[in-house]
Structure 1
Amino acid sequence: MKPLNYACRLSVLSLSLAAIFSAQAQNSIETIEVKGERQAYRGEFVHLETPESIFEFDAELIENTGLTDLTDVLDMSASVSRQNSLGGLWDSYAIRGFFGDENVPSGYLVNGFNAGRGFSGPRDVSGIERIEVLKGPKAALYGRGEPGGSINLVTKKATFEDASSVQLTAGNRAHRRFEADINTVISDDVAGRFIGFYQEEDSFRDTIETQKQGLMASLVFEQSERSRISYDLEYAEQEIPFDRGIIAIGGNFDFMPIERFLGEPGDGPTTTSVLGHQLQWTYDLNDTWELSSAVAYRQTELDSISSDAEIAPQFQKFYLDGQTLARQHRERRYDTDQYVVRFEVAGEFETGSITHNIIAGIDYDRFEYDRAYLVARGAPLATNPSDQDMYAINVHNPVYGQVTAGKRLPAIVRQQNQWATGIYIQNQIELTDALQVRLGGRFDSMTQTLDDKVRNFETDQSETRFSPQLGVVYQVANNWSVYSTYGEGYRLNFGADVKGNTFDPNETDSLEFGSKWSLLDNNLDITLAYFDSEQKNIIVVDTVSGGQSAIGKASSAGYELDIAGQLPADIEVRFSYMYLDAQVEEDYVDTGIYAPIKRGDDLLNIPENSASLQVSQDYLISGNALTIGAGLQYVDERLGQRGADFYLPSYVTANLFANYDINDQWTVKAQVHNAFDRTHFTNSYTQFWVQPGEPRKVLLSTSYKF
């Protein structure tokens, strides 16, 4: 048994036993109220005081819609667009048109930590209290990041109130899910919360089945009125078939049924696993100053064997006969370890009539990435190969297991480590009752080492970076403010060129102007923003050496409108719209398909217009609560392959949901995703790897509170 899987099982067993025994604690234990936990790096500012745009999804909305995957929830923000998810193996998204390294999952923050890196599979949102889309550059405080923004997951914490629930969900395509949430008071000053899930289902894709399970745990120790310690655990295992999707050569999306699978069921599922820990301590020095420290560790594994459509023309017979698909046989073994440590102090002081709101701290981040990638490639067309030689399958009548792949040979075997130590400070200065200025910056010292086993070389890299942040907020009226902000960011690039030299860091800068309103007694928040960002040192093909160089550049500019809150008549609304102009700024050659890219070309999978609307209303039926809601998502056409006139069609999908409390304990729910059964395509990498969206899905569930 693998060490990580063994450790995961031990953690699950021990925490499950703890939950069982703690649930027997006497009901007479005195409960105490838990104070709201301030998020690290964030400070305490209301909506109108921040020179930035934030869009949130709380647990109630997530539960009402019945969405369980992070990417599905992020679809409700127009600022986030789906990217190549490597056959469904991980979450991959762009914020305001920019994304990170397409060969690794998109990173995210967990309770303010840079602790969402690694190969843990698509993130289940069980155990998540809210999801924050933090727009604009965040590197001045958080460290490495993308210019478009960051995603922060705030986990559910233990409270000093005994409350538990279980939920069963069933749906079409053999969907089955069990979820439990146990919150218990263990003693006068210790509380625990244990959230677990198990899910399995068939796919609309032929031969595809998925299975996942996980446990999130939270322990809280209230040492005193001033001091608090909390621990969070994340464990998950998944079995996900590797699925590149369908072929849509020349934009013919009816060329084959969206159900047809072109891989090999005999490859078996990809397995992913994660075990993560977070330990945090906060101490109130006085009424205005707080000290916090934290440490986190996260380990992930991914093991996969897949049969992928060949995309190089010199190897692909499909270009000749329109039916014989040459494939590669690939194996992936990825392991990561991440360590994060942080110390922070936050508070305020006055100099005369001016108030200073300070956040200052130091953090350390270490990321270890062990990658083994092996490939068996078919013979080139020039050798007149047989179907066996090409590891081919007939796209119109696939017969699985008919051909045998050749021996997989190492293409990439490397160990890459990254260390970063950062010092950051932010001062939001209240110059007058209406005018605030934010000054911030972060200095990072970074080291990266690379041990390449295939090319047999070792190299290292050291960088120092200062990331500034400037912002101004002016409150025009009690419910209206305007702001502007500027920030810079960075991210170390993985890999090395043909000479063994590491790449320059990816660098970004972003400028933003916006206006905010809080209406209807501060129940409705509106943000209108314009942003202009640039990213450089993107990894591209070096046409001189035949390797890669960090010479790519891209820009992203657009407008956003976010509306969130409560309208009269108990109507909840979340609306998000974005217009985006994202394009290449320098000619280069694409690293994946060696296609020439020209300045002015669109960025991959980035729509010009996108919008999302979620509306719900509460009623009382026989004295019990009924919630009915609906959602719409619009995504404009998007470039589906770099260097080609291939675009994914625009689409509109609709979701419906209803929740009814039968009594204080029992609740029944119904959700319909893609209610009108619209055929749509969410993302692609080439015309051979196009991901169809899921057809109509109906879910029914019941939950019991005790």
Structure 2
Amino acid sequence: MKYKTTFLPVLSFSFISCFAWGDDMTVLETIKVHAEASSEHDLQKNTAATKFSHDVLDVPFNRAFIDSETLKQQDAQRIDDVLTLVSGVFHQNNYGGGFWDNYSFRGFSSDPSLGAAIIRNGLSVNRGISAPKDMVNIQSLDFLKGPAAALYGRGETGGLLNINSKKPLWQSESEINLSTNTFEQYRFSAEHTAPLNDEIAYRFAIAHENNQSFRDHVSSERWFFSPQLSWKISDQTQLDFDSEFTQHMGTFDRGVSTLHQQFVMDPKTFTGEPSDGDMRVKDHFFQLRLNHALNDVWRFKTAISYKDAQMVGYSTEPRRIQADGQTLERQRRYRDYQSEDVLWQNELLGTVDQNWARHELLVATELGQLDFKQYQLRRNHSTGYLNTIDIYQPIYGVYAPELAAFTNTQERQRYAAINLQDQIFFNDQWSILIGNRYDYIQQNFENHLNAKQDKQNLQRNSPRVGINFKISDQASIYSNYGHSFAMNSGINRLGETFAPEQGQSYELGGKYRLNEASLVSMALFKIKKQNVLTTDPIDSNFQTTAGEVSSQGIEFDLNSQLTDQWTIAATYSLTDAKIEKDQDLAKGARLSNIPKHQASLSSQYEWLLHGTQRAGIGANIIHVGERSGHNLDNGFNLPSYTLTNLNAYYSPSEQLRYQLNLNNVFDEKYYVSSYSELWVQPGEPLNASVSAQFKF
């Protein structure tokens, strides 16, 4: 590849140059950066994009930030609840009505068999099955755009979500949250943190949900528990232990089906089988982190993570509508998917001052192993009858066909990586970031149904470069370019493993700071990717890789605090994501669930009533444009929609807060995402939620 001969010498030169220049030049005194990543996260600071704490104007990448106050105002119970407030991030099929988090950045999503990839506190976390993240452990969200995501090795060149989790504190704090919804959704959460002594602090959080739905026979239940511990071994060293235990149970729900691509079903109608019982997702996560300051400018970090997850249960799913226009043929499945992953990461971060520039250096390594087992029983037809249901007057419990083995596979990935990065500050205006990630992966795949095996060894370099020019303390412009690399899990209909995804990203953008609490950003981007997984047009039971897909567009974000009481936020994205070339799919075919236009406008006004009494009101308007509703872009579209949501809160003291949220105020009928014209997830109609927060 061409970049190997041009990029790597530049990278080597930047490291060597740190020590090669003489002492006869003047040291630049205007640049102030730190090797230690700040624990603070806000609109004006950026740590996750480069691993160093920076003013947002000093980083040559784009990023959207959702703070804890916004999460609270929106009464966010899932990450899904705030996606429409971020430009260029869109809902994707979340697997049977919410069994994992799934979304796309700039038109591209992660592996469709595993849901969205996520990083946590600036560290990669384990691959494999993941239950939807619980908000009781989330402080804020960083949506990293473009090639900055390649720093974490997940390979998604469109972007990546970083979760900033809550951590133990050295002062005692407790919080209880209660909420209820007009759809009979009930949630309880409690969290407590305190020090054991001057060196050790702990935190634990627990949450429970019992949720009904506006859809008939659809419900879910969830338990979440998280113990954490922090130990200040010395002034230079801290050891942190994090763990999360999630049990998510619910009805597997493919949504509604269309007839001749027209929406004819009542959005409430469930076409599965209530007798199938709950699908269950178990997700256990453990992480041990050690941070050690070697001196004032160099810091070493190491982390060991372990993740064990399982998805198991029955489902009955739409397959085809018969010619009479009301009889729906169904398939029945039993799934038992298991994943186990261990990951070891090391990072060395530091700064080197030279007469001509300052270097911020990162050397990072990863070593891990992922095991992914898929066992599935399935039947479309049973001898002597069809498994059918009337979409207008469903009668349940008539059919329960026996199931035959359909999938029995085991995949193992062993991976190692090294990541090098140098951000060079020439003066208080110009900086350049160059980096390269090298990945080595062994993939072994066994199909126990036919005793076939397939394996491959892969090596890839993923370079990235960014240039930033800080025009003033209020404005900057930047440009970046990067490669991406990601493994594709599974096999095709011929029993072969897939080639990995590879991508290239270009971006040009600018940022303007209106004041210390306000920021405007705009970005133009173009991305190309090869070997993206999509449904096989010959056999829809399998996947295949598209030859090349592309996405290009514009993103605009405004966050402004107009007064001490009044804030507004606005976003807009234009995204054109499509097939460029493929042997089976037409050139120009759109990627599914990607609206060409999406926009949001939010406003919040708060005031002090008397003493510590506070109150606030807010609203947001969200528009999502028309988009392809089928993974093969067969002409089926999800219609555009516009939602209006209102919120209000009253806090009689610093310890109490009561909140009311009205969602979909005008009761618009809309559809969030789909996989095909038979699997469409309808959005929630008008509903209200009330919550109370107690701090002590």
Choose from 596, 601, 624 the match for 1:635.
624
Is residue 126–residue 343 contact of structure 2 (8 Å, CA) maintained in 1? no
TM-score norm. by structure 1 comes to 0.89
Is the alpha carbon distance of 1:40 and 1:517 closer, same or farther for their aligned partners in structure 2, counting shifts above 3 Å? closer
Aligned pair 1:661/2:664, yes or no? no
Aligned pair 1:157/2:161, yes or no? no
Say which is worse superposed, 578-587 or 612-621, in terms of deviation: 612-621
Is the alpha carbon distance of 1:359 and 1:40 closer, same or farther for their aligned partners in structure 2, counting shifts above 3 Å? farther
Aligned to 2:186: 176
Matches within 5 A, 1:334-349: 334-349=337-352
Question: Helix, strand or coil for the counterpart of 2:358?
Answer: strand
Aligned pair 1:599/2:578, yes or no? no
Aligned pair 1:448/2:443, yes or no? yes
Aligned to 2:610: 622
Choose from 555, 570, 590 the match for 2:565.
570
Q: CA deviation at 1:426?
A: 0.8
Question: Helix, strand or coil for the counterpart of 1:321?
Answer: coil
CA distance in 2, matches of 1:434, 1:202: 55
Q: Deviations over 1:374-429 (max 9, x none)?
A: 111116xxxxx9xx621011111110001232x21121111101121111111110
Aligned to 2:240: 230
Q: CA deviation at 1:117?
A: 3.3
Say which is worse superposed, 555-564 or 65-74, in terms of deviation: 65-74
Tell me the matched-pair count.
650
Aligned to 1:361: 364
CA distance in 2, matches of 1:541, 1:586: 16
Matches within 5 A, 1:19-38: 36=39
Query: In the alignment, residue 50 of structure 1 is paired with which amino acid?
Result: V
Query: In the alignment, residue 397 of structure 1 is paired with which amino acid?
Result: Q
Aligned to 2:599: 611
Is residue 430–residue 469 contact of structure 2 (8 Å, CA) maintained in 1? yes
Aligned to 1:699: 689
CA distance in 2, matches of 1:168, 1:540: 41
Show structure 2 runs of 5+ residues with no match. 1-36, 41-46
CA distance in 2, matches of 1:363, 1:543: 37
Aligned to 1:292: 301
Query: In the alignment, residue 430 of structure 2 is paired with which amino acid?
Result: L
Aligned pair 1:489/2:484, yes or no? yes
Q: CA deviation at 1:41?
A: 5.7
CA distance in 2, matches of 1:684, 1:184: 45
Is residue 150–residue 157 contact of structure 2 (8 Å, CA) maintained in 1? no
CA distance in 2, matches of 1:685, 1:545: 15
CA distance in 1, matches of 2:564, 2:302: 44
Q: Deviations over 1:107-160 (max 9, x none)?
A: 111222332533333222221011111011245421122121101111100111
Choose from 627, 645, 658 the match for 2:635.
645
Is residue 117–residue 154 contact of structure 2 (8 Å, CA) maintained in 1? no
Aligned to 1:141: 151
Q: CA deviation at 1:511?
A: 0.4
CA distance in 1, matches of 2:399, 2:490: 34
Matches within 5 A, 1:464-475: 464-475=459-470
CA distance in 1, matches of 2:238, 2:141: 23
CA distance in 2, matches of 1:533, 1:150: 15
Is the alpha carbon distance of 1:261 and 1:82 closer, same or farther for their aligned partners in structure 2, counting shifts above 3 Å? same
Q: Deviations over 1:510-537 (max 9, x none)?
A: 00000011122x2111110000001101
Q: CA deviation at 1:614?
A: 2.4
Q: CA deviation at 1:543?
A: 8.1
Question: Helix, strand or coil for the counterpart of 1:197?
Answer: strand
CA distance in 1, matches of 2:574, 2:619: 23
Query: In the alignment, residue 100 of structure 2 is paired with which amino acid?
Result: W
Say which is worse superposed, 667-676 or 34-43, in terms of deviation: 34-43
Is residue 450–residue 460 contact of structure 1 (8 Å, CA) maintained in 2? yes
Choose from 77, 86, 91 the match for 2:86.
77
Aligned to 2:177: 167
Aligned to 1:30: none
Question: Helix, strand or coil for the counterpart of 2:471?
Answer: strand
CA distance in 2, matches of 1:425, 1:534: 24
Query: In the alignment, residue 633 of structure 1 is paired with which amino acid?
Result: I
Aligned pair 1:395/2:383, yes or no? no
Choose from 518, 523, 531 the match for 2:517.
523
Aligned pair 1:420/2:415, yes or no? yes
Aligned to 1:188: 198
Say which is worse superposed, 366-375 or 105-114, in terms of deviation: 105-114
Q: Deviations over 1:213-236 (max 9, x none)?
A: 101232111122211111111111
Is residue 141–residue 425 contact of structure 1 (8 Å, CA) maintained in 2? no
Question: Helix, strand or coil for the counterpart of 2:385?
Answer: helix
CA distance in 1, matches of 2:570, 2:350: 34
Is residue 301–residue 346 contact of structure 2 (8 Å, CA) maintained in 1? yes
Query: In the alignment, residue 263 of structure 1 is paired with which amino acid?
Result: G
Matches within 5 A, 1:120-131: 120-131=130-141
Q: Deviations over 1:32-86 (max 9, x none)?
A: xx97376596212210011111101112211221111111122321311111122
CA distance in 1, matches of 2:172, 2:525: 46
Is residue 508–residue 536 contact of structure 1 (8 Å, CA) maintained in 2? yes
CA distance in 1, matches of 2:558, 2:129: 33
Q: CA deviation at 1:550?
A: 3.6
CA distance in 2, matches of 1:537, 1:122: 27
Question: Helix, strand or coil for the counterpart of 2:307?
Answer: strand
CA distance in 2, matches of 1:558, 1:141: 23
Aligned to 1:7: none
Query: In the alignment, residue 356 of structure 1 is paired with which amino acid?
Result: H
Q: Deviations over 1:228-247 (max 9, x none)?
A: 11111111111110111112
TM-score norm. by structure 2 comes to 0.90
CA distance in 1, matches of 2:336, 2:209: 24
CA distance in 2, matches of 1:242, 1:633: 28
Is the alpha carbon distance of 1:579 and 1:540 closer, same or farther for their aligned partners in structure 2, counting shifts above 3 Å? closer
Aligned pair 1:202/2:212, yes or no? yes
Aligned to 1:6: none
Q: CA deviation at 1:499?
A: 5.1
RMSD (Å), alpha carbons? 2.0
Query: In the alignment, residue 523 of structure 1 is paired with which amino acid?
Result: A
Query: In the alignment, residue 640 of structure 1 is paired with which amino acid?
Result: G
Aligned to 1:8: none
Is residue 590–residue 633 contact of structure 2 (8 Å, CA) maintained in 1? no
Q: Deviations over 1:587-642 (max 9, x none)?
A: 344xxxxxxx3101111110000012222122012231112211121100011122
Aligned to 1:239: 249
CA distance in 2, matches of 1:51, 1:216: 35
Aligned to 2:527: 533
CA distance in 1, matches of 2:534, 2:196: 55
Is residue 559–residue 570 contact of structure 2 (8 Å, CA) maintained in 1? yes
Is residue 43–residue 359 contact of structure 1 (8 Å, CA) maintained in 2? no
Question: Helix, strand or coil for the counterpart of 1:48?
Answer: helix
Q: CA deviation at 1:704?
A: 1.6
Is residue 282–residue 290 contact of structure 1 (8 Å, CA) maintained in 2? yes
Question: Helix, strand or coil for the counterpart of 1:449?
Answer: strand
Say which is worse superposed, 49-58 or 170-179, in terms of deviation: 170-179
Q: CA deviation at 1:251?
A: 3.8
Is residue 41–residue 112 contact of structure 1 (8 Å, CA) maintained in 2? no
Aligned to 1:45: 54
CA distance in 1, matches of 2:150, 2:267: 44
Is residue 113–residue 340 contact of structure 1 (8 Å, CA) maintained in 2? no
Is residue 138–residue 145 contact of structure 1 (8 Å, CA) maintained in 2? no
Is residue 139–residue 488 contact of structure 1 (8 Å, CA) maintained in 2? no
CA distance in 1, matches of 2:539, 2:277: 38
Question: Helix, strand or coil for the counterpart of 1:472?
Answer: strand
